[in-house]
Structure 1
Amino acid sequence: MGMSTMNAAVLTRPKQIEMKQTGIPTPKDNEVLIRIRAVGLCGSDVHYYEHGKIGRYVVEKPIILGHEASGEIVKLGAQAPAHLKVGQRVAIEPGATCGACEYCTTDRYNLCPHVEFLATPPYDGAFSEYVAMRADLVFPIPEDMSYETAALVEPFSVGLHAVRRGGLQANETVVIMGMGPIGLLTVANAKLAGAKTIIGVDLEQNRLDVALKMGATHTVNLRSENLADKVNEITDHQGVDVAFETAGNPKAVQGAVASVKRGGRVVVVGMSPEDEVPVNMSIIVDSEIDLRGVFRYHDTYLAAIDILSKKIVDIEQIITGKYTLGETAAAFEQAINDKTNTLKIMVYPQ
């Protein structure tokens, strides 16, 4: 570690990413310095790149994006715990919460209002050669786990938390709206939870094909098939126990509400571009439907690493493109311009 500067892909303004030399961070006592090996490109990154904001989070100065990251420890802060060693390969949980508020002290730390989350303004992310990270957010991975799988622990955690929030039980029936990376990883987690019937819904046939490989039992292509008719046919006119909305699309929210049985649960994971989405309240009241929001995840990393280390889920089949750090701008353009063929893009900072 003789150098003092590193390369980083910096979003300088919407749709403008520039390669810059920036200082390698010095880890604080409770941090470790990580050489970043793989970073997944997330829909939220693309949103910041295109629009400069998501909801109440606004990019006001140049920012390094990327929060789905893995790498190896190169330096330990003075108080780093004994189980972490230089050279260790790790997955990074990207949200440093305060540990003291009512949410942090009641096992819902994903709701901490003081969280510092990688690549959420004003905090820099991981499209860079090195990142300093609080030691309690750094999780060793098995030697035979790839850096790609380790980076995907982050979006896999969203699917795992969504399934937990939905209270999904073995033998229940599920519909999942939207077969992007989060939808596909929700499919995988629904299968792991023992769902009997898993219906994947999307407009793109190639995404539905991947859904079947990830554990979906049925698919609905909205370009050629009617959602209500298909759900009725598959569930014998009962509707599903749980509907997950992972598309971030108002129509998908409405489709999810319409697909559940009386007394069913609707779990909304996707962040819609519109703050307000019209839903049929009379159905929600008359059928006593539970509507549950999902924000990121909590307490998922150890479980996710354990699940993925068993190789039951072939998570890397969602990777559709690989780019170097210098090609980060091209990776974003690929994600925007070829939505049909793009699922998860990986960027390699080394």
Structure 2
Amino acid sequence: MTVPAYDQAVNDAFVLYPGGKFGYEKRDVPTLQSQRDVLVRVIATGLCGSDVHYWQHGRIGRYVVEKPIVLGHESSGIVVECGIQSGLSVGDRVALEPGIACNSCSFCRAGRYNLCRDMRFAATPPYDGTLATYYRVPAECCYKLPPHVSLRDGALIEPLSVAVHSSRLAGDMQEKSVIVFGAGPVGLLCAGVARAFGASTVVVVDVVESRLQSAFKYGATHTHRTTSDSVEENALEILNAAGLELGADIVMDATGAEPCMNTGIHALGPGGTFVQVGLGRPNPSLPVGQICDKEIVFKGSFRYGPRDYQTAIGLVNSRRIRLEGLVSHEFSFSQAEDAFQNVASRAGIKSVIYGPGVDEEMAKATLS
């Protein structure tokens, strides 16, 4: 594999400005700050719902776009410079974990660094993201890709790690029944991880038939397209279609949509576990009576934590999870705004943007 030329003077960035306008800027090339730092030439970046939300609404909760910011955090790339203590080499193909924790607070020390209040997370104001030529991270945020995984598909390790983390929160899945709401990238990957973790029944639910048609490739044993306005009717139809008379053991909602959350709670069996993976309205109305009557365990899931990336890489390396086909749309760096428009229209499954000057054929190639 040819390593892209390292130009220490050029760092092109795709920038979101307050008010929702996009533009391109020349930024300084990041420099190594320690002997464990790594400089990565960004090859592919997947677009996430959070990127689109910042563009359309200018904020997510307490994080507000108050100055120009580089978006993007689902990335893969090639190491072009590294410190002598990094354990990596120039030319290594890596997936990037885009959050740098403080490693000293009580949450970090307890192994829950995703809850670190001083987390510097890419594309979360005020921290720039990865839609640029180069991005610097510490070595612990770089994960070598298996030879059979392309750099394009390597950008999917980030959402796969989200699925791994939420599936772990759900607990033991061996021979359990799981309902996943949402057949987008994270929902499909949740279905795949659930099957890899031993679930016997995995039902994927969505309103878009074209997305459901691909769900069987990624782990679903059943699919259901919701049509009713009644959450009770939808829940009953899902359970009947999958033969789950007593309700599901686990529900994972990757939509954040209030009707899906309500349907999932109604479809969950007594003593079941509900994991909220996707975010929607900040204060949805939920059937608390159902939660109490069935003693449901309701869990929130936030990004990923220790060993989630390693597990994601292991699942892909063993081919228990297959990433092929999830990327449905590809855009050059000059077409970045088109990519955002494409995601906003809910076209396809996953859109990726290639880094500045990236050879697309190289990005799609594998080493084996």
Residue of structure 2 equivalent to 1:263: 271
> Is 1:50 matched with 2:67?
no
Contact residue 14 and residue 48 of structure 1 kept, 8 A: no
Deviation at 1:95, TM superposition (A): 0.7
Equivalent residue in structure 2 for 1:196, among 194, 197, 200: 200
RMSD: 1.5
Q: 1:121 offset after TM fit, Å?
A: 0.7
1:244 aligns with 2:252: yes
Question: In structure 2, what is the Cα distance between the partners aligned to 1:195 and 1:326?
Answer: 42
Which residue pairs with 1:325 in the alignment? Answer: 333
Q: How far is the alpha carbon of 1:306 from its aligned partner?
A: 1.6
Encode CA deviations 1:187-235: one digit per residue, 9 max, x unaligned.
Answer: 1101101111111110000111111111111111013795222233123
Aligned mate of 1:291, from 268, 285, 298: 298
1:348 equivalent in alignment to 2:354:
yes
Runs (5+) with no aligned partner, structure 2: 1-5, 359-368
Moved over 3 A (4+): none
Q: Secondary structure at the match of 1:121?
A: coil
Match of 1:156 in 2: 160
CA contact (8 A) 1:41 1:346 kept: yes
TM-score, normalised to structure 1, is 0.95
State which drifts further: 293-302 or 7-16: 7-16
How far did residue 109 of structure 1 move? 1.0
Matching residue within 278, 281, 292 for 2:288: 281
Please report how far the alpha carbon of residue 176 of structure 1 lies from its aligned counterpart in structure 2 after TM superposition: 0.8
Cα shift at 1:120:
0.7
- Tell me what 1:313 maps to: 321
Counterpart among 304, 309, 315 of residue 301 in structure 1: 309
* Counterpart code for 1:7: D
Which has the higher mean CA deviation after the structures are superposed, 52-61 or 139-148? Answer: 139-148
1:334 aligns with 2:342: yes
Partner deviation per Cα, 1:78-111 (whole Å, 9 max, x = no partner): x532x21111111111110011111111111111
Secondary structure at the counterpart of residue 55 of structure 2: helix
- The 2-side partners of 1:137 and 1:53 are apart by 26
Contact in 2 for aligned 1:96/1:117 (Cα 8 Å): yes
Say which SS state the counterpart of residue 331 (structure 2) adopts: strand
CA contact (8 A) 2:185 2:350 kept: yes
Deviation at 1:2, TM superposition (A): 4.3
CA contact (8 A) 1:200 1:211 kept: yes
Q: Is the 8 A contact 2:164 2:311 kept in 1?
A: no
CA distance in 1: counterparts of 2:104 and 2:8, whole angstroms:
36
Report the AA paired with residue 146 of structure 1: S
Equivalent residues of 1:67, 1:118 under 8 A apart: yes
1:41 counterpart = 2:47: yes
Change over 3 Å in CA distance of 1:283–1:33 after alignment to 2: same
Identify which of 121, 126, 136 aligns with 2:125: 121
Specify the alignment match of 1:11 in structure 2. 16
Bigger shift: 146-155 or 158-167?
146-155
Report the alpha carbon displacement of residue 236 of structure 1 after superposing the two structures with TM: 4.0
The aligned counterpart of 2:140 is 136
User: Partner letter of residue 189 of structure 1?
Assistant: V
Aligned counterparts of 1:2 and 1:186: Cα–Cα separation in 2: 39
What is the alpha-carbon distance in structure 1 between the residues aligned to residue 288 and residue 319 of structure 2? 42
SS at match of 1:169: coil
Q: CA deviation at 1:242?
A: 0.4
Amino acid at match of 1:144: H
2:184 corresponds to 1:180: yes
Corresponding residue for 2:106? 102
Q: How does 1:49-88 map to 2 (within 5 A)?
A: 49-77=55-83, 80-81=85-86, 83-88=87-92
- Report the TM-score, using the length of structure 2 for normalisation: 0.90
In structure 1, stretches of 5+ residues that fail to align are: none
Q: Which moved more, 1:229-238 or 1:278-287?
A: 229-238
> C-alpha distance in 2, partners of 1:58/1:131?
22
Aligned to 2:3: none
Contact 2:193 2:321 in 1 (8 A): no
Give a deviation string over 1:113-151, Cα, whole Å, max 9, x none.
110001111111111111011121111223332112221
SS of corresponding position for 2:325? helix
Separation in 2, partners of 1:208, 1:14: 35
Cα distance in 2, alignment partners of residues 2 and 285 from structure 1: 59
Q: Number of aligned pairs?
A: 345
Identity of aligned residues (%): 36
